[in-house]
Amino acid sequence: MAKFLNTSATNYFLEELIKDAKDRLILISPYLKLNDRMKELLADKNRLKIDVRMVYGKSELQPLEISWLKELTYIRTSFCKNLHAKCYLNEELCIVTSLNLYEFSQVNNNEMGILIRRSEDGDLYRDAYEEAQRIIRISDEVRISMERVPTMEEKPDGGANADAEDADVIGKLSTSKLARKLGLKTLELTDKLIAGGQLEMKSGKPHLTDKGKQAGGEFRMSPRFGAYFLWPESLSL
């Protein structure tokens, strides 16, 4: 069953939630100003290559946060307009609370929260996780330089990431180019590939499956643009 948390318990379980994250970590808080202990915990997750998503929404990031984030490859930051929710999840625990990831709140405020364990309240955990994913989807990802990252549909290449790098692969197209050929949006094609079993979602990211490989799909990594996929021009959906 869900467990009530007072101020000290909220801080304790939030630290444990971060420390115990093995696969994913989602931190949603309007204010993003972290104390040294929180930075230490998150830096350790980065060293372990844990996928961390941080969503904030009430103010610009401070110079100290910007400088710190520049060193962290596996922590992605997003801005969500009108965000007021405070929710923290790993793959097993979820905390819904009044506590911001804001240094002053962690030291001086009186807080309340609810701890949800996936093993005990699977439906409740799933509802919270799906809402957290919705908030991430409607948020604008922010580069380390604090510029907004264009969405897949806003990018000049339609989110292909590396069309220039697949130019010499005869008979294959990036996801966005194949989508344009089929008269689809990139996200629509991605959804069809997931539904067809050529891709699967892990930690919020699409991964190539064995079925996708058998269909001729290839995973590529661009030093400039990151991960992307190539597909045969004649791919059948």
pLDDT tens sequence for the chain (237 residues): 899 999 999 999 999 999 999 999 999 999 888 888 888 999 999 999 999 999 999 766 677 777 788 788 889 988 998 899 999 999 999 999 999 988 666 667 899 999 999 999 999 999 999 999 999 999 987 754 444 444 544 444 444 444 444 444 678 888 988 988 898 888 889 889 999 999 998 877 789 999 999 999 998 876 555 678 899 999 987
Q: How many domains does the chain have?
A: 2
Print the domain residue range for 91.
3-142
- Within a domain: residue 199? yes
- Within a domain: residue 39? yes
Number of Cβ within 10 Å of residue 133's Cβ equals 15
- Within a domain: residue 12? yes
pLDDT at 155: 46
Same domain, 71 and 128: yes
Closest CA to 57 of 86, 25, 24: 86
Same domain, 130 and 194: no
- Within a domain: residue 99? yes
Number of Cβ within 10 Å of residue 118's Cβ equals 18
* Domain closes at, from 142, 174, 203: 142
- Within a domain: residue 152? no
pLDDT at 36: 84
What's the pTM value of the predicted model, to 2 decimals? Answer: 0.61
**Quick one: how far is CA 182 from the chain centroid?**
28
Same domain, 11 and 100: yes
Number of Cβ within 10 Å of residue 109's Cβ equals 12
222 vs 65: CA distance, rounded Å: 27
